[in-house]
Amino acid sequence: MVRKREKWPKVGELVVGTVIKIFEQGAYVTLDEYEDKLAYVPAVEITRSWFRSIKEYLREGQKAVFKVMRVVPSRNQIDLSLKRVSERERKEKMYLWKRAQRAEKLLELAAKKLGKTLDDAYKEAGWPMEDYFGEIYAGFEEAALRGEKVLLECGLKPEWAKVITELAKTHIEIPKVKLSGIVTLTCLSSRGIVAIKEALTKVEEYLKSHKDIEWRVYTVGAPRYRIEIVTSNPKEGEKILKEAANIAIKTIKKHNGFGNFVREEK
């Protein structure tokens, strides 16, 4: 069960619920993120289409994404809607919920290593990571990518930062992306070939200084040259790609040549 800091959901919030009982006039659902609090989905909020039975759209034991329509804590009342959740919202919520599940499992492992409880893990690591990165799992991804320092920056104590980073590097595989662009280099002087070679050599020297990326620089037909970068940090990769192209263009201009750069689609 994934947990939230708040005790009650907010009106308009998307929640993941498990259907536990279906009636002719509606269905009862327990909220997975809110300590299995009981909620109700009236039949009129199941679908916008005509239907014979709610069971055409929901079944007992099914997990689904609902939108919160009413919350009355004093009466323990939570009303939900299924029909007001778009397909895009459903996919996005399920994606985030699964990430939250993975984050909780990793927090639990971290707590065991430190002799702490899961509640301790949320309080001392999970919630600070959520505040800083937007979600807990994003904190684990950053730790896998950048190491302990990023967790220390968000306020975690060294013992938590160390254990979480170890778990992140063991259990999280950061997907890599390929970024590329075409730099066009032209120099009409007698030393034009030498100038272009110098420009590309400086690009390669710059890329070699970044140990956490893979790269290639090659011709696609003079005067056009492709710069490719494979990285697990797209944001940083974009900066590196742009700077590599700038180095090539600045170098060719020193030899009275000219150049330009066009970013290729991902």
Distances (CA, A) of 80 to 9, 53, 224: 11, 18, 57
Q: What pLDDT, on a 0 to 100 scale, did the predictor assign at position 175? A: 81
Looking up tokens 């070679």 gives 197
Give φ, ψ of 139 to 5 degrees. -65, -40
| Residue 115 burial (10 A CB sphere; 0-12, 13-18, 19+) | exposed
For helices 136-146 and 158-171, the axis angle rounded to 10 degrees is: 80
Q: Provide the strand spans (E) within 57-175.
A: 63-72, 77-81
* CATH node for 88-171: 1.10.150.190
Where in the chain are the domains? 14-85, 88-171, 177-263
pTM over the 0.85 mark: no
- Of 243, 248, 192, residue with least CA distance to 225: 248
Q: What pLDDT, on a 0 to 100 scale, did the predictor assign at position 1? A: 66
| Whole-angstrom distance, CA of residue 55 vs CA of residue 59 | 6
Give the architecture (CATH level 2) of 14-85: Beta Barrel (2.40)
* CATH 3.30.70.1130 for domain 177-263: yes
Let me know: does 21 contact 15? Beta carbons within 8 Å. Answer: no
User: pLDDT averaged over consecutive 10-residue blocks of the chain (266 residues)?
Assistant: 86 96 92 94 86 82 96 96 94 94 96 96 96 94 91 96 96 90 94 94 96 92 94 91 97 94 87
